[in-house]
Amino acid sequence: MKRKYIPDLTRQMSQCEANYVRIMKLLPDLDNCDEREFQVSWPEHSAYLRLKVDERFKYTSTVLVSHRYETNSPWLESPGLVVRLYHDASVAEVICMQRRKQLSGAYPYPNPNMHLPDEKLQLNEYLGEWLSECLRYGHLMEIVFSG
Protein backbone atom coordinates (compact mmCIF):
# COMPACT_ATOMS: atom_id res chain seq x y z
CA MET A 1 0.00 0.00 0.00
CA LYS A 2 1.31 3.44 -0.95
CA ARG A 3 1.80 5.80 1.99
CA LYS A 4 0.41 9.34 1.99
CA TYR A 5 3.01 12.11 1.60
CA ILE A 6 3.59 13.96 4.87
CA PRO A 7 5.43 17.28 4.57
CA ASP A 8 8.68 17.62 6.50
CA LEU A 9 7.94 20.92 8.25
CA THR A 10 11.41 21.18 9.79
CA ARG A 11 13.05 20.90 6.36
CA GLN A 12 10.50 23.32 4.83
CA MET A 13 10.99 25.98 7.53
CA SER A 14 14.77 25.61 7.39
CA GLN A 15 14.70 26.20 3.63
CA CYS A 16 12.39 29.24 4.03
CA GLU A 17 14.60 30.74 6.74
CA ALA A 18 17.70 30.30 4.58
CA ASN A 19 15.92 31.85 1.58
CA TYR A 20 14.94 34.87 3.68
CA VAL A 21 18.59 35.44 4.66
CA ARG A 22 19.66 35.07 1.00
CA ILE A 23 17.05 37.53 -0.27
CA MET A 24 17.95 40.07 2.41
CA LYS A 25 21.62 39.82 1.37
CA LEU A 26 20.63 40.48 -2.25
CA LEU A 27 18.12 43.21 -1.33
CA PRO A 28 19.50 44.81 1.85
CA ASP A 29 17.60 48.00 0.98
CA LEU A 30 14.28 46.20 0.45
CA ASP A 31 12.27 49.20 1.67
CA ASN A 32 13.79 51.54 -0.96
CA CYS A 33 14.56 49.30 -3.94
CA ASP A 34 11.81 48.19 -6.34
CA GLU A 35 13.80 45.96 -8.67
CA ARG A 36 17.28 44.55 -8.99
CA GLU A 37 18.86 42.30 -11.59
CA PHE A 38 21.97 40.17 -11.26
CA GLN A 39 24.05 38.51 -13.93
CA VAL A 40 25.15 35.05 -12.88
CA SER A 41 28.13 33.80 -14.88
CA TRP A 42 29.58 30.32 -15.11
CA PRO A 43 32.33 29.20 -17.50
CA GLU A 44 29.84 27.72 -19.99
CA HIS A 45 27.04 30.34 -19.95
CA SER A 46 25.35 33.26 -18.18
CA ALA A 47 21.91 33.87 -16.74
CA TYR A 48 20.06 36.82 -15.25
CA LEU A 49 18.11 36.75 -12.00
CA ARG A 50 15.59 39.52 -11.37
CA LEU A 51 14.09 40.33 -7.98
CA LYS A 52 11.12 42.70 -8.18
CA VAL A 53 9.38 43.96 -5.05
CA ASP A 54 5.66 43.71 -5.79
CA GLU A 55 4.15 44.60 -2.39
CA ARG A 56 5.39 46.09 0.88
CA PHE A 57 3.57 45.96 4.18
CA LYS A 58 4.68 46.28 7.79
CA TYR A 59 5.13 42.54 8.38
CA THR A 60 5.24 41.11 4.85
CA SER A 61 6.63 41.85 1.41
CA THR A 62 6.06 40.07 -1.88
CA VAL A 63 8.94 39.61 -4.31
CA LEU A 64 8.65 38.33 -7.88
CA VAL A 65 11.65 36.22 -8.81
CA SER A 66 12.42 35.42 -12.43
CA HIS A 67 15.41 34.33 -14.41
CA ARG A 68 16.42 34.04 -18.01
CA TYR A 69 19.40 32.63 -19.77
CA GLU A 70 21.63 34.67 -22.05
CA THR A 71 20.29 32.68 -25.00
CA ASN A 72 16.58 32.29 -24.35
CA SER A 73 14.91 29.24 -25.78
CA PRO A 74 11.52 29.96 -27.36
CA TRP A 75 10.15 26.60 -26.28
CA LEU A 76 11.19 26.58 -22.62
CA GLU A 77 9.94 29.33 -20.34
CA SER A 78 11.59 29.73 -16.95
CA PRO A 79 9.11 29.71 -14.09
CA GLY A 80 8.52 32.99 -12.34
CA LEU A 81 8.10 32.61 -8.59
CA VAL A 82 5.99 34.72 -6.23
CA VAL A 83 7.77 34.80 -2.88
CA ARG A 84 6.22 36.10 0.33
CA LEU A 85 8.64 37.43 2.95
CA TYR A 86 7.39 37.29 6.54
CA HIS A 87 9.60 39.81 8.33
CA ASP A 88 8.43 38.98 11.87
CA ALA A 89 9.29 35.29 11.39
CA SER A 90 12.27 35.89 9.03
CA VAL A 91 11.08 33.40 6.42
CA ALA A 92 10.62 33.64 2.65
CA GLU A 93 8.17 31.17 1.12
CA VAL A 94 7.25 30.51 -2.50
CA ILE A 95 3.48 30.98 -2.45
CA CYS A 96 2.85 30.38 -6.14
CA MET A 97 4.29 30.46 -9.60
CA GLN A 98 3.34 33.47 -11.70
CA ARG A 99 0.05 32.96 -13.54
CA ARG A 100 -1.02 30.12 -11.23
CA LYS A 101 -3.10 29.91 -8.10
CA GLN A 102 -1.55 29.58 -4.65
CA LEU A 103 0.32 26.37 -3.89
CA SER A 104 -0.84 23.86 -1.33
CA GLY A 105 1.59 22.41 1.23
CA ALA A 106 1.01 18.89 -0.13
CA TYR A 107 -0.95 17.32 -2.98
CA PRO A 108 -2.51 13.89 -3.35
CA TYR A 109 -1.03 11.99 -6.25
CA PRO A 110 -2.15 11.68 -8.94
CA ASN A 111 -4.15 14.91 -9.17
CA PRO A 112 -5.82 16.75 -12.07
CA ASN A 113 -3.07 19.40 -12.38
CA MET A 114 -0.25 16.86 -12.01
CA HIS A 115 1.36 18.65 -9.05
CA LEU A 116 4.01 16.62 -7.28
CA PRO A 117 3.18 15.70 -3.67
CA ASP A 118 6.08 17.88 -2.41
CA GLU A 119 5.91 20.58 -5.10
CA LYS A 120 6.00 23.49 -2.65
CA LEU A 121 9.16 22.16 -0.99
CA GLN A 122 10.79 21.59 -4.38
CA LEU A 123 10.01 25.15 -5.49
CA ASN A 124 11.47 26.57 -2.26
CA GLU A 125 14.61 24.49 -2.81
CA TYR A 126 14.74 25.66 -6.45
CA LEU A 127 14.55 29.27 -5.23
CA GLY A 128 17.31 28.57 -2.72
CA GLU A 129 19.58 27.18 -5.43
CA TRP A 130 19.10 30.25 -7.61
CA LEU A 131 19.66 32.66 -4.73
CA SER A 132 22.80 30.76 -3.67
CA GLU A 133 24.18 30.82 -7.20
CA CYS A 134 23.46 34.55 -7.38
CA LEU A 135 25.29 35.17 -4.11
CA ARG A 136 28.23 33.02 -5.21
CA TYR A 137 28.60 34.02 -8.88
CA GLY A 138 26.26 36.97 -9.39
CA HIS A 139 27.12 40.52 -10.35
CA LEU A 140 24.69 43.36 -9.81
CA MET A 141 23.65 44.91 -13.09
CA GLU A 142 24.24 48.65 -13.25
CA ILE A 143 20.57 49.51 -13.59
CA VAL A 144 18.92 49.57 -10.16
CA PHE A 145 15.24 50.43 -10.22
CA SER A 146 13.89 52.30 -7.22
CA GLY A 147 10.72 54.10 -6.33
pLDDT value at residue 118: 79
Mean pLDDT of residues grouped by 10 in the chain (147 residues)?
A: 78 96 95 92 85 95 89 67 96 84 68 72 92 91 57
Secondary structure (3-state) at 104: coil
pLDDT value at residue 72: 60
Alpha-carbon span 112 to 20, nearest angstrom: 32
pLDDT value at residue 2: 66
Q: Which residues partner with 94 through β-bridges?
A: 83
pLDDT value at residue 63: 96
Q: Are the CB atoms for 120 and 11 separated by under 8 Å?
A: no
Secondary structure (3-state) at 23: helix
Query: With left for phi above 0 and alpha for psi between -120 and 50, is residue 99 left, alpha or beta?
Result: left
Q: H or E element: which one contains 125?
A: helix 119-137
Domain boundaries, the chain: 9-137
Q: Report which residue type is found at 4.
A: K
